[in-house]
Amino acid sequence: MSHMTHSTEHKVITRPQAALWVRELQAKGLKVVFTNGCFDLLHPGHVAYLEEARSLGDALIVAVNTDASVRRLGKGEHRPVNPETDRARVLAALAAVDRVVFFGEDTPLELLTELQPDILVKGGDYQAQEVVGRDLILARGGQVRILPFRQGYSTSNLLARLRSAQD
């Protein structure tokens, strides 16, 4: 049996590449779904969320906070646990994720303005009114969807369990 590699690194793209990719899909009449986050330690809650997000359209692009922006979010002194390139690589390996792009700003508003996706998705820890970019997406006829939060799954909870396991 021959050794075959199934690299998904090509799914991690630059912002200009992402904008072009979205335009090309939309020109074919396809719906692009956008979500964003840190995705520090991937867990089943993330996977279910991304699969559901992907099911809302024809393609899913995930915007990942850079390490510097994660630190500014104040998630804790040891966050992110994994560097941005590793976080992006793991996300890119998921079947539900079509492309991954980085953003270093505090919010994804600038990136949303560049990409103009059709559907903006956030997790259930958000209220629709507080979703950054909501007005931008709705103004162009898109949708903003809040997906249910999966109880018991969070990177913070996972890290707390790991710390208590060490004690």
With contact defined as beta carbons under 8 Å apart, do 67 and 83 qualify?
yes
Best CA proximity match to 103, nearest among 88, 120, 122: 88
Is position 45 within any domain?
Answer: yes
Task: Provide the pLDDT for residue 32.
Answer: 98
Residue 4 resides in a domain: no
Residue 2 lies inside a defined structural domain of this protein: no
Structural domain contains residue 30: yes
Structural domain for 158, as ranges? 9-166
At 24, which CATH number? 3.40.50.620
Residue 142 resides in a domain: yes
- pLDDT tens, position by position, 45-70: 899 999 999 999 999 999 999 999 99
Q: How many domains does the chain have?
A: 1
Tell me the per-residue pLDDT of 15-55, one tens digit each, with 9 for 90 and over: 999 999 999 999 999 999 999 999 988 888 899 999 999 99
In a domain, 110, yes or no: yes
Q: Is residue 1 scored above 60 in pLDDT?
A: no
Residue 149 confidence class, pLDDT cut points 50, 70, 90: confident
Q: Which two tokens stand for residue 37?
A: 């986050």
26 membership: H or E segment, kind and range: helix 15-27
Does 99 fall in a domain? Answer: yes
How confident is the model over 66-118, as pLDDT tens digits? Answer: 999 998 887 767 788 899 999 999 999 999 999 999 999 999 999 999 999 99
Write down the pLDDT at residue 153: 63
Band the pLDDT of 161: cuts 50, 70, 90.
low
Contact status, residue 91 vs residue 65, Cβ threshold 8 Å: no
pTM of the predicted model as reported, rounded to 2 decimal places: 0.89
* Within a domain: 125: yes
